[in-house]
Amino acid sequence: MLDSVTHSTFLPNTSFCDPLMSWTDLFSNEEYYPAFEHQTGYSFFNDAEETKTAIKDYADSSCLKTSGMKSQDCHSRTSLQSSHLWEFVRDLLLSPEENCGILEWEDREQGIFRVVKSEALAKMWGQRKKNDRMTYEKLSRALRYYYKTGILERVDRRLVYKFGKNAHGWQEDKL
């Protein structure tokens, strides 16, 4: 059930503040639990205690054990552990409260989005990859490579990109 729920969905105010924090770190830290209590994504749990339990169970499940997790298993599961740049961008877009205005949808239905804070995005990606020399110029070069594979489509506007036919998981009704 929780497989499609992103890390940032759980922790809207924490995940990108410390992108290197592990699931174990997050779930073992009681300070973060209150944040779940007000998330609409968890309205299906009766109360905060139930939410905690569900999350803890999920954190304890074998699929989230760091040692046993393969990149393929988790690449689409969480923004923090997405192995590919486009998934990182996608997950950031799917958590508008957490991306601090770095990315925003231009046309949600068509998958068109805009990079609002290019330097911040590059910095965030750099943190994700433990590369403090990352720049938006380099990041955008990587994004342009996705044109070839159909993951992104070209949009003739500055800082605007569009998810292509080979990108998945960005459509609201297919989450």
Residues binding DNA (CB under 7 A): 70-72, 83-86, 115, 118-119, 125-126, 129, 131, 133-142, 144-147, 149, 154, 156, 158-160
Q: What is the DSSP string of 135-147?
A: -HHHHHHHHHHHH
Q: What six digits make up the tokens of 86?
A: 């486009």
Closest contact distance (angstroms) between CB of 157 and DNA is: 8
Q: Which is nearer to DNA, 56 or 75 (CB)?
A: 75
Closest contact distance (angstroms) between CB of 70 and DNA is: 6
Q: Which is nearer to DNA, 44 or 145 (CB)?
A: 145
Dihedral over Cα of 139, 83, 111, 6: its sign: negative
Q: Which is nearer to DNA, 11 or 124 (CB)?
A: 124
Q: What Rg, from alpha-carbon coordinates, does the chain have?
A: 16
Q: Which is nearer to DNA, 5 or 69 (CB)?
A: 69
Residue 114 near residue 160 (C-beta atoms within 8 A): yes
Kindly report the backbone phi and psi dihedral angles of residue 112, in degrees, each rounded to the nearest multiple of 5, phi listed first.
-95, 125
Closest contact distance (angstroms) between CB of 100 and DNA is: 16
Q: Which is nearer to DNA, 39 or 135 (CB)?
A: 135
Contacts of 79 (CB under 8 A, 6+ apart): 6, 7, 8, 15, 16, 87, 88, 91, 92, 95
Closest contact distance (angstroms) between CB of 14 and DNA is: 23
Closest contact distance (angstroms) between CB of 112 and DNA is: 13
As a whole number of angstroms, the distance between CA 170 and CA 155 comes to 17
